[in-house]
Amino acid sequence: MAKKIWIVLFISFLIYSASVYTNCDKKAETALNKEVKKGWDVWQAKNCQSCHQVYGLGGYMGPDLTNTASEKGPEYMKGFIKYGTGRMPNYHLNDDEIESLLAFLTWVDKSGRSAVPEKAVHWTGTYIIDDK
């Protein structure tokens, strides 16, 4: 009798494992290509994170940039990065560096939402991914 329970438990474990590993959200996978890596290097070299946050981590002088790419768009961001403002420094970056930074920030944006809206939290505690 006890042996049967172990067999049932073991089979349940296998079925559960298979379902967990096959239900991965394929859309959430984002490639870390060369352009993104270059942008990440510029991001670090210029220490953008000293004033900006990604997922709430970083400095608080400028806004969180996790989802700026989808919320405001790369053209909007380009203006700030290219010219700076009274409060944000102008780093005199060339177009290549700016494009890489935008690729990096677009990649960051695809990794998830920084601020989780209340309606996106399922009653089980999991997070409902918005497919837009």
| Contact positions vs ligand HEC (CB under 6 A) | 46, 48, 50-52, 61-63, 65, 68, 72, 77, 80-81, 85-89, 91, 101
Instruction: Please state the closest distance from residue 30 (CB atom) to ligand HEC, in A.
Output: 19
Tokens 């559960």 belong to residue: 16
Instruction: Please state the closest distance from residue 45 (CB atom) to ligand HEC, in A.
Output: 8
Six-digit token string for 48: 């953008």
Instruction: Please state the closest distance from residue 40 (CB atom) to ligand HEC, in A.
Output: 11
Instruction: Please state the closest distance from residue 79 (CB atom) to ligand HEC, in A.
Output: 8
Report the candidate in 48, 61, 42 with the shortest Cα–Cα distance to residue 103: 42
Nearer to ligand HEC, 15 or 57 (CB): 57
SS3 assignment, position 127: strand
Nearer to ligand HEC, 30 or 82 (CB): 82
Angle between helix 95-110 and helix 34-45 axes, rounded to 10 deg: 100
Classify residue 52 by its DSSP letter: -
φ, ψ for residue 54, nearest 5 deg: -125, 125
Residues 6+ apart with CB under 8 A from 74: 102, 105, 106
Nearer to ligand HEC, 30 or 93 (CB): 93
Nearer to ligand HEC, 82 or 112 (CB): 82
Which one-letter amino acid corresponds to residue 11?
I
